Amino acid sequence: MFRQRALGLKSKIIDFLIFFIDKIPDRLSSTFASICGRLMFFLLPRSRELILKNLSLVFPDWSDEKKRDLAVKNLSHYVLNLIELVKARNKEITEIMKNVEVIGLENFSEVLREKKSFVVASAHIGNWELLATMSIGLKIPIAIVVKEQVRDVIDRLFSFLRLTKGIILVEKENSLREGLKILKTGKLFALLSDQDAGKNGIFIDFFGIKASTYPGAAYFAYRGNVSMFTAFTFRKENNKHCLIIEPEIKIDRSLPRDEWILLAMTEVVRRTERMIRLHPEQWLWCQKRFKTLPNKEVNKELYG
């Protein structure tokens, strides 16, 4: 009973926040997000410390002032992402795409011309929740893997956005079977590949640190014998976005499966790191990215 009441209260609070965000004029979105980011830095100590720990690990030469400044900008970035998602619910895709610059679409030309399926690895950078919507805006059918987030009421917003824009959702629990089916239907299959994968991940250098990495994108590309790419989105000035589609990752198909997957994911991680260095304030620093050590143990010293 208490749990149901708590969920009900949380739902009402989120409904109110969505209603409130809807009323924020577009021209004030960045200012509002900036104010919220500064408040969150002081009011959410656990999130603040997690971001600062990750920044200290990745950028040990940065001053404390520089890390704090980026942490505030990072928290503001999350708020701005949410504002954009709330407002995107009531927009046509053509309207959303007016604010998106697309670079590298020609890299998809061959697979699109031949109507082949292909895999895209991406990351939690820019407004990643809009990345799939951008694909639909380019008239590229897309399927994405999503976690079941029953405990998080705000997932209603993301699911609404994804479903109403014609994006195919694949539950993570069923991704192996469903993903292989999708690769036979001429669609883009996109996966985010920049979170800690636990003891079952493969360990790849990420900012010079051996980090557990999900091999899913390369696994599906190998099993489906399809092309593999990377694509990232980042925010520009005036709340505009840029979608960068990078060249195909080409690895010798005669290599053993595990070696092929490792080499392909190493390239994905390299490209991801490059994008983060270019736009460090827009990556998901508020995560335990380096939680799993190469010996498969949890990094308690870092994250407690």
Convert the pLDDT of each residue in 195-220 to its tens digit.
999 999 999 999 999 999 999 999 99
Average pLDDT over residues 167-196: 88
* Predicted pLDDT of residue 155: 64
pLDDT of 156 higher than 90: no
Q: Which tops the pLDDT comparison, 121 or 171?
A: 121
Average pLDDT over residues 187-194: 95
Average pLDDT over residues 113-136: 94
pLDDT of 162 higher than 90: no
pLDDT digits (tens, 9 = 90+) for 215-262: 999 999 999 999 999 999 999 988 899 999 999 999 999 999 999 999
Polymer length of the chain:
304
* Predicted pLDDT of residue 265: 98
Helix (H) or strand (E) holding 245: strand 241-245
**Helices (H), ranges, 23-125:** 29-43, 45-58, 64-88, 93-97, 109-113
Check the CA dihedral 30-195-213-56 and report its sign.
positive
List of residues 6+ apart from 48 with CB closer than 8 A: 40, 41, 42, 71, 75
Decide: 274 and 267 in contact? Cβ < 8 Å: no
pLDDT of 152 higher than 60: no
Average pLDDT over residues 37-52: 97
> pLDDT grade, residue 170 (50/70/90)?
confident
In 3D space, the residue among 180, 184, 103, 96 whose CA is nearest the CA of residue 145 turns out to be 180
Q: Which tops the pLDDT comparison, 277 or 2?
A: 277
> pLDDT grade, residue 7 (50/70/90)?
low
d(CA 146, CA 149): 9
123 in the Ramachandran plot: left (φ > 0), alpha (ψ -120 to 50) or beta? beta
Decide: 217 and 265 in contact? Cβ < 8 Å: yes
Q: How many CA atoms lie within 13 A of 59 on its CB side?
A: 18
pLDDT of 58 higher than 60: yes
pLDDT of 4 higher than 80: no
Decide: 55 and 207 in contact? Cβ < 8 Å: no
> pLDDT grade, residue 53 (50/70/90)?
very high
Structure tokens at 251: 């690895």
d(CA 171, CA 248): 26
